[in-house]
Structure 1
Amino acid sequence: MEAEHNPPMSPLKLSELNRFIQQVLSLEFSDTYWVVAEISECREASNGHCYLELVEKDEDKAGSFTAKARANIWRNTWQQVKFNFARETGRTLVAGLKILAEVSVQFHEVYGFSLTIHDIDSTYTLGEQQKKRQIILQQLEEDGVITLNKELELPAVIQRIAVISAAGAAGFGDFMNQLEQSGFNFQTRLFPATMQGALVAESVINALDLIAADQEKWDVVVLIRGGGATSDLDGYENYDLAANVAQFPLPILTGIGHERDDTVVDFVAHTRCKTPTAVAAFLIERMQNVHAVIDNLHERLNRATMDYLQMLQLRYERLGQRYSTAAISFVNHQQQVHHRLAQRITTGLHEQLHFQSQLLQRVVSRLHTNTHRLLERKEHQLSLFAQTLRMVDPQRTLAMGYSITYTSDGNLLSAQNKLPQGTVLRTVVADGEVWSTINELL
C-alpha cells in the first residue's frame, strides 16, 4: 500500500520563497565581507556595469571548483575600482587574476544569488603575482638553469637576428623601421608567434624550436611585442616558457613592451629592454660601438703606420748617409788601389816589354846569324848540285865522244834486243845528229 503525501494547507510560491531567502540573507549578511577568489570571467557591459564570475579552485583536483558565484560591480563603483586597480598594479581585471574583494551578499527573486563588489585590494593581487613569480624563479634556480642565458656572451658583431613577434604588430614594424633607418646591414627573419593570451607560451616555444634547428644562422634572438595591457603579460609568467628561454643556446633579448613591469621571461633572458624600439636602439648602439672601435683601430693603425714609415724614412736617410760616406770612402780607396795597381801594371808592362824587346832582339840576332849560316850552307849545297849537274850534263858526255841513240818514236835506245830490221834510229853526237837504219843485228 503506497504512502500518502498530503500537500501542506498553504504552499509557498517560488517568489515567496526567494523573498524569504532574501530577507534572511539581508538580516544575516547585512555587512560587507572581504573575500578571496579568482576571476574566471570578467565583462564590462555597454551600460557601464562590470559582470564577473568568481571561483575557488580545488587544489587537489585540477579543473574542479569548490565554489562559484556571480559578482557585479555597478557603474559608479566600477569606474573608481578600475582606475585604482590599473594605477596601482598597471593591470586590468581579467580572467585568471586572484583578487581580495570587499563584497556584500545579494539575492534577487529572479536573478538569484550574487555578490556586489564595493572595493578590491590591489596589494593582494600584486602579492599573489609576486608569489607565483617567486615560485617559478625558485624552481628555475633549483633546476640550475636560471642564469644560463645571461651567461652566454653576446657576439662582438650582431647582424643576424631571429625575431619572434606577431606578424603585422606595430611593435614589430617599429623595430624593423628603426633597424632599417640605422644604415647598418642587419639581417632579420620573423618567426611569427602569438604574443598575448593563453597561447603565448606554447606559440613562443614553437618559434624557439624552429630557431634552434638552425641556430648557427643567427647571432641573437629578439622577443618583442607591441605594448598592451599589463594583464597581457600573464603569458610570460610561465615556467615552461621561462625554462626554454633560460636554456636557449643563443642570447635572447626581450622587448615585451611595458615600461614598469618585468616578467619571469625578462628575468631569465640575456638582456631585457623595455620596448621593441629599445631593443632596436640597443642593437644599433652595439653596432655603432663596434664601428667606433673599428674606426679607432683604423685611426690608430694609420697613425702607427705613419709613425713607422717616418721612422723607416729617418732610418733609411741615416743609412743612406752612412752608405754614401762609406761608398765615397770605398770608391776613393778603390781608386787608390786601382791607381797603385795601374802603376804596378804599367811598370810591369814596361819591364815585360823591355824584357821581351831584349829577348826579341836576341832572337832576331840569333835568327839573322842562323839564317846567314843556313844561306851559306844552302849556297854551298847549290854549288855542289850545280857541279854535279854539270858532270851529268849530256852535252858534256857528248863532248867527250859519247852519243845518244833514240828510236824514231823518241824512245831512248838502251839495248839492241828485239829491234826489227828496218828500224830507223836517231843518234845524237856533240855536233849534230846521225840517222840510220838497222839492216842486220849482230
Structure 2
Amino acid sequence: MSPKTYTLVELAAFVRRVFALNLPEAVWVQAEIAQASISRGHCWLTLVEKGEESDQISAQLEAVCWATSLHKIRADHGTKLVREVLQEGMSVRLRVRADFHQRYGLKLIVEDLDATYTLGKLEQEKQRILVKLQEEGLLDLNARQPLSVTPQRLAVISSETAAGWADFQEQLRDNAYGYRFSLRLFSAAMQGVQTGPEVSRRIRQINRVSETFDAIVIIRGGGGRMDLAAFDDEDLAREIAGSQLPVIVGIGHETDESIADRVANTSLKTPTATAVFLIQRMMQAEVRLLQLGRGIGRAAGLQLLGHTQSLEEMEVRINVQARTALERESVRLDQANTALKRLADQNLRQAKQQLDQYAKLLAVLNPETTLARGFSILSQDGKLITSVGEIRPGPLQARLRDGDVELNK
C-alpha cells in the first residue's frame, strides 16, 4: 500500500494547524535585526541568530509589525525609541506570534518589544569593549597627542546636510573675537550601521595628510542613546585611539557617554559646545600671549630700571674717579712744572758755564792770539804749510800779527 499523497494546500493547512496548536499564544524571542524597512506603515524585519564564536547565521526568520501594532508600540515606548531599536544590527527581544500562510509561508507577527533588553545588551557590549581597550592601553592613547594651543586647521567628520555641521560652522564663523578657522569637511554617515566604517575610513584618510591639520573634529546633532550606538563601535574606537592627530568629539549627547568619547582626546556634548571649546582655547592662548607680553614688559622695565640705577652709580663712580684723577694729575703737573723750571735753570747754568769755557778756549785757540805772541802762518797758493815737505818752489805767504808778507824762495 503506497503512502498517502497530500496536495500542497493540504500540507500547508496541516502545518498551519500545527503552529496554531503548539503556539497558540504569543512568545518572547531574542534575535538580531539583519534587515529593517518601513513600507505602507508596516515594519518588515529579517531576524537572525549568529553563532557565539563567529558571525555565521545559525537561524533566520522573517517578521512583520503591522501598522496597527507599530502604532501601539510607539505609543507605549515612544516613537523615537522604537525607531532607534528597530534598526539593522540591533539585538532585540520581541513578543511575536507565529503565523503560517499557505501562500506566503511562515512569518512572525510582532506585537511588542522590550526596549530595556536592547539597551542592556548595548551596555553589556559597551562595557566589554571598554575593558578590552583599557587592557590594551588604548583609552588614554589619543589623549596623549598634544592638542595645539591654537587649533585653527580642522578636519571635520560629519554629515554634509546635518544641522550640527551648520551650527558648528556658524558658531566659529561669527565668534565675537574675530578668530579665523580653516574647516574641511569629510562627509560620513552619522547614524546607522554605516557610521562606524565610514567615520573610520575618514580618520584614516585624514591621517594620511596629518601635517595639513591641527585636529580631527567628529560632530553630529542631538540624538537619543540608540542614535549614538554607532559610536560604541570597537573598530571606530581603535581608529580614534590610534589617530596621529588629536580627535575632538561632539556627537550631540547630554548625559550618555559613548566609547568614542572615552578614547578621544577631548569630548564635548554638542557641536555648538565643540565650537565654543575651540573659541575659548584660542582666547586662552591670546590671554596667555598677552600675559607673556606684559611679563616681558615688566621684566624689561625691571631690567631697564636696574641698568639705569647701575648707570647712575657708575656715573657717580666715574665722576669721583675723574675728579680724583684730575686732582692727582694736577699735583703731578705742578710737580713736573716745578721740576721742569728747576731743570731748565740748572741746564741754563750748565750751558752758560760751558759757553764760558768754550769762550776761553776759543780765546786761547784764536789765531790772532797766537800771532800776537810772535808766531806766523805760512801758506802757499792758499794752502797752509804745516811741514817743510809741503813747500814747493815758488813764493810763500806769511801772515803776521799786523799783516801779510810774501816770501820768495
**1:130 corresponds to which residue?**
123
Quick check: 2:98–2:107 contact (8 Å CA) kept in 1? yes
Quick check: 2:93–2:113 contact (8 Å CA) kept in 1? yes
**2:289 corresponds to which residue?**
294
**2:243 corresponds to which residue?**
248
Q: TM-score, normalization: structure 1?
A: 0.72
**2:305 corresponds to which residue?**
310
Q: Is 1:51 matched with 2:43?
A: yes
How far apart, in 1, do the equivalents of 2:55 and 2:408 lie? 169
Q: TM-score, normalization: structure 2?
A: 0.77
Q: How is 1:428-439 mapped onto 2 (pairs within 5 angstroms)?
A: none
Amino acid at match of 2:361: R
Q: How is 1:115-264 mapped onto 2 (pairs within 5 angstroms)?
A: 117-167=110-160, 169-182=162-175, 183-227=178-222, 231-264=226-259
Call closer, same or farther: CA 1:365–1:247 in 2, change over 3 Å: same
Q: How is 1:7-406 mapped onto 2 (pairs within 5 angstroms)?
A: 17=13, 21=17, 25=20, 31-44=25-38, 49-53=41-45, 55-59=47-51, 62-64=55-57, 66-75=59-68, 78=71, 81=74, 84-85=77-78, 91=84, 93-103=86-96, 117-167=110-160, 169-182=162-175, 183-227=178-222, 231-371=226-366, 372-373=368-369, 376=372, 380-381=376-377, 384=398, 390-392=406-408
Amino acid at match of 1:392: N
Q: Which has the larger radius of gyration?
A: 1
Amino acid at match of 1:380: S
Identity of aligned residues (%): 28
How far apart, in 1, do the equivalents of 2:307 and 2:5 lie? 124
Quick check: 2:249–2:261 contact (8 Å CA) kept in 1? yes
Q: CA RMSD in A?
A: 4.0
How far apart, in 1, do the equivalents of 2:16 and 2:249 lie? 58
Quick check: 1:205–1:244 contact (8 Å CA) kept in 2? yes
How far apart, in 1, do the equivalents of 2:404 and 2:265 lie? 140
How far apart, in 2, do the equivalents of 1:297 and 1:6 lie? 99
Quick check: 1:94–1:231 contact (8 Å CA) kept in 2? no
Gaps of 5+ in 2: 379-396
How far apart, in 2, do the equivalents of 1:126 and 1:199 lie? 20
Amino acid at match of 2:314: L
**1:407 corresponds to which residue?**
none
Give 1:292 deviation, angstroms: 1.5
Quick check: 2:85–2:118 contact (8 Å CA) kept in 1? no
Amino acid at match of 1:299: R
How far apart, in 1, do the equivalents of 2:322 and 2:265 lie? 69
Call closer, same or farther: CA 1:89–1:287 in 2, change over 3 Å: farther
How far apart, in 1, do the equivalents of 2:72 and 2:15 lie? 31
Helix, strand or coil for the counterpart of 1:141?
Answer: helix
Q: Deviations over 1:115-171 (max 9, x none)?
A: 554543322111011122223223333444333223333344434433333445443
Higher mean C-alpha deviation, range 336-345 or range 371-380? 371-380
Gaps of 5+ in 1: 394-442
Amino acid at match of 1:171: G
Call closer, same or farther: CA 1:13–1:160 in 2, change over 3 Å: closer
Q: Deviations over 1:325-367 (max 9, x none)?
A: 2211221121111111111111211221222123223323432
Give 1:299 deviation, angstroms: 0.5
